[in-house]
C-alpha cells in the first residue's frame, strides 16, 4: 500500500462506525491522523469501538454532541448511508470541510489500478463477472466496495500487479475528491434512491463522479442504449467504449441475436452465454469489454461466459422439482429490477413473491410485464398495495401472507410443471429483514424445507 503523508496530524472525524468506519478509522490512525469516531447509536460492548479505543482513538457514541458538531476538524469520512441532511454533515458542509467516504481513502493508498463500477442496476453481476474473468485469466484481481468487502481493507493488500474491482453506490460516489479509476463502467441510469438524493439530477451527478477525474489514459465503458447515459458519458476525458444489445457498434461491445461483437467484428456466439435475461446480456457486454481492455484471453472469456450463471440473490437458480423452477432475486429492491426478472421468464408462467418496505413508490412500471404472471403472493409492509396492483393487472391468483415460508408454501400449492416460482420483491427488505441477503436466505431455506 502507499504510505501517504498528506493526512498526518490532520484532525479527522469518522462519522458512523459500521464496517467501513472501523476500517477507515484504523487506516487514518496508521497514517498519522488525529481521529475521532462518532456514532449516533450506543456502542457499549461493541468490539470495533473497543478495538479503536485501545488504539487511542476517541470514540463518541449515543448521539452527536455539540463538541462534535462544532469540532475543529480538517476532514470528515462518513458512512455512505448517512444522508447529507444529518446535522453534523450540514454543519461541516457549511464550514467547507471536505466530506469523504472511505472509497476516497482506499484510492489514495491503493497501489493497484482500480476498475470502478456503478449504475442503477447490474453493478453486482458486472463486478462479479469481471472478477471471474480476470481471476481465471491469472491476473489475481481483488474485489471490493458495495459488494460487501470494505475498499480500504482491500486496498491495503493491493499490489501494482493486481487490479482492484470496486462496486460503487451513488452514496459512496458523493464522497470522493481525487478518486480516479483506470476503467469506469456505468451500467444504466434509472430513478433510484431519490429519498436520499432528492432529485434524479442529483442522483445522476453522484453517479457521474465515477469518471469526473479520469484522463485520456483511462477508459469509460457505458450503456449506449440509454440516451441519458450517453449524455452524461460525453463529459469525460477518458476513452469511450460503449456497449449495446440493440445494434452493432464500430467501437466497444455489442450484440445481435446470433453474435457478440468487439469493435464491430464478430467475437463469439451469443448462445455461449449461460446467464438468463436481456439485462444480464448488458452486464456481460460491460464486463467483457473491461476484461478485453485488461488483456484477457478469448479462451478465458469463452470459458467463463459458458459457465457463469449469476450471483447469489440476483436471479439465483435455487432448484428444480417436478418441473417447477425456483429463483431467488431478493436483490431486486426496485421495480426496474423486478421488471428485468419478469422479462427473463417471458415464456414461462410465473408465480411472483413480492413486497417489502413501504416507500410509497408506484408499481405501475411492472404492468406491461404481468401478462404471464399466474399468481402473486405478497408479504411485508407493501403486501396489500402490491396485491391491489396485481388484482388491477387481472392476475388470476393474488394472496397476501405474513411470512416468507407461508408465501413459498402457497406458491408451491399453485405451481405446475413448467412454472417459475420467483422471489423478486420490488421493495427493500428492512421492514422484516436486516438485508436483502437475509431475505434471500429465508426464501432459499423455505424452498429447501418445503420441497423435501
Question: What integer pLDDT is reported at residue 114 of this predicted model?
Answer: 98
CA distance 190 to 140: 33
Structural domains of the chain ordered from first start: 11-100 (3.40.50.720), 103-305 (3.40.1190.10), 316-450 (3.90.190.20)
CA distance 222 to 244: 9
SS3 322: coil
The residues near 301 (Cβ < 8 Å, ≥ 6 apart) are 133, 268, 288, 291, 292
Q: Look-up: residue for cell 424452498?
A: 447
Question: What integer pLDDT is reported at residue 252 of this predicted model?
Answer: 98
Other CB atoms within 10 Å distance of the CB of residue 417:
8
Question: What integer pLDDT is reported at residue 197 of this predicted model?
Answer: 58
397 — phi, psi (to 5°)?
Answer: -125, 120
pTM of the model: 0.79
Annotated binding site for ATP: 119-125
In tens, the pLDDT along 400-444 reads 999 999 999 999 999 999 999 999 999 999 999 999 999 999 999
The residues near 413 (Cβ < 8 Å, ≥ 6 apart) are none
CA distance 119 to 286: 11
- pLDDT beneath 70: ranges in the chain: 148, 191-198
Annotated binding site: 119-125
The residues near 315 (Cβ < 8 Å, ≥ 6 apart) are 275, 276, 277, 280, 327, 328, 329, 341, 344
CA distance 358 to 348: 29
The residues near 327 (Cβ < 8 Å, ≥ 6 apart) are 315, 316, 317, 318, 341, 345, 420, 421, 422, 423, 424
Question: What integer pLDDT is reported at residue 251 of this predicted model?
Answer: 98
Question: What integer pLDDT is reported at residue 374 of this predicted model?
Answer: 97
Question: What integer pLDDT is reported at residue 191 of this predicted model?
Answer: 61
Extended beta strands in 108-215, E state: 114-118, 142-145, 164-167, 183-186
Amino acid at each position: 500500500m502507499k504510505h501517504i503523508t498528506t493526512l498526518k496530524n490532520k484532525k479527522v472525524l469518522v462519522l458512523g462506525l459500521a464496517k467501513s468506519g472501523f476500517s477507515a478509522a484504523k487506516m487514518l490512525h496508521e497514517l498519522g491522523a488525529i481521529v475521532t469516531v462518532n456514532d449516533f447509536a450506543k456502542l457499549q460492548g461493541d468490539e470495533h469501538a473497543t478495538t479503536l479505543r485501545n488504539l487511542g482513538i476517541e470514540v463518541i457514541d449515543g448521539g452527536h454532541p455539540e463538541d462534535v458538531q462544532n469540532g475543529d476538524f480538517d476532514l470528515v469520512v462518513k458512512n455512505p448511508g448517512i444522508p447529507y441532511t444529518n446535522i453534523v454533515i450540514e454543519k461541516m458542509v457549511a464550514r467547507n470541510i471536505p466530506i469523504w467516504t472511505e472509497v476516497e481513502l482506499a484510492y489514495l493508498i491503493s497501489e493497484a489500478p482500480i476498475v470502478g463500477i456503478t449504475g442503477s442496476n447490474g453493478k453486482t453481476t458486472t463486478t462479479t463477472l469481471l472478477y471471474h474473468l480476470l481471476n481465471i485469466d491469472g491476473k489475481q484481481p481483488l474485489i471490493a466496495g458495495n459488494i460487501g468487502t470494505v475498499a480500504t481493507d482491500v486496498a491495503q493488500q493491493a499490489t501494482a500487479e493486481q487490479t482492484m474491482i470496486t462496486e460503487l453506490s451513488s452514496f459512496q460516489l458523493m464522497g470522493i475528491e481525487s478518486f480516479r479509476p483506470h476503467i469506469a463502467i456505468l451500467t444504466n441510469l434509472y430513478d433510484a434512491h431519490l429519498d436520499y438524493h432528492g432529485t434524479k439530477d442529483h442522483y445522476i451527478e453522484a453517479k457521474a463522479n465515477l469518471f469526473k477525474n479520469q484522463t485520456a489514459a483511462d477508459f469509460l465503458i457505458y450503456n449506449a442504449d440509454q440516451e441519458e447515459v450517453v449524455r452524461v458519458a460525453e463529459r469525460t476525458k477518458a476513452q469511450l467504449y460503449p456497449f449495446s444489445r440493440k445494434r452493432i457498434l464500430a467501437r466497444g461491445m455489442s450484440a445481435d441475436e446470433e453474435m457478440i461483437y468487439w469493435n464491430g467484428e464478430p467475437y463469439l456466439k451469443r448462445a455461449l452465454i449461460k446467464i438468463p435475461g436481456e439485462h444480464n446480456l448488458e452486464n456481460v457486454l460491460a464486463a467483457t469489454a473491461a476484461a478485453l481492455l485488461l488483456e484477457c484471453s478469448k479462451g478465458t472469456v469463452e470459458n467463463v461466459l459458458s459457465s457463469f450463471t449469476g450471483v447469489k440473490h440476483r436471479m439465483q437458480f435455487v432448484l428444480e422439482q417436478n418441473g417447477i423452477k425456483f429463483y431467488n432475486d431478493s436483490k431486486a429492491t426496485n421495480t426496474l429490477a423486478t421488471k428485468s426478472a419478469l422479462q427473463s421468464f417471458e415464456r414461462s408462467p410465473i408465480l411472483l413473491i413480492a413486497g417489502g418496505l413501504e416507500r410509497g413508490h408506484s408499481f405501475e412500471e411492472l404492468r406491461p410485464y404481468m401478462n404471464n404472471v399466474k399468481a402473486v403472493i405478497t408479504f411485508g409492509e407493501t403486501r396489500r398495495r402490491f396485491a391491489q396492483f396485481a388484482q388491477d393487472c387481472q392476475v388470476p391468483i393474488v394472496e397476501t401472507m405474513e411470512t416468507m415460508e407461508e408465501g413459498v408454501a402457497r406458491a408451491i400449492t399453485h405451481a405446475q410443471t413448467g412454472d417459475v416460482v420467483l422471489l423478486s420483491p420490488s421493495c427493500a427488505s428492512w421492514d422484516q429483514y436486516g438485508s436483502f441477503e437475509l431475505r434471500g436466505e429465508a426464501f432459499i431455506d423455505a424452498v429447501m424445507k418445503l420441497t423435501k
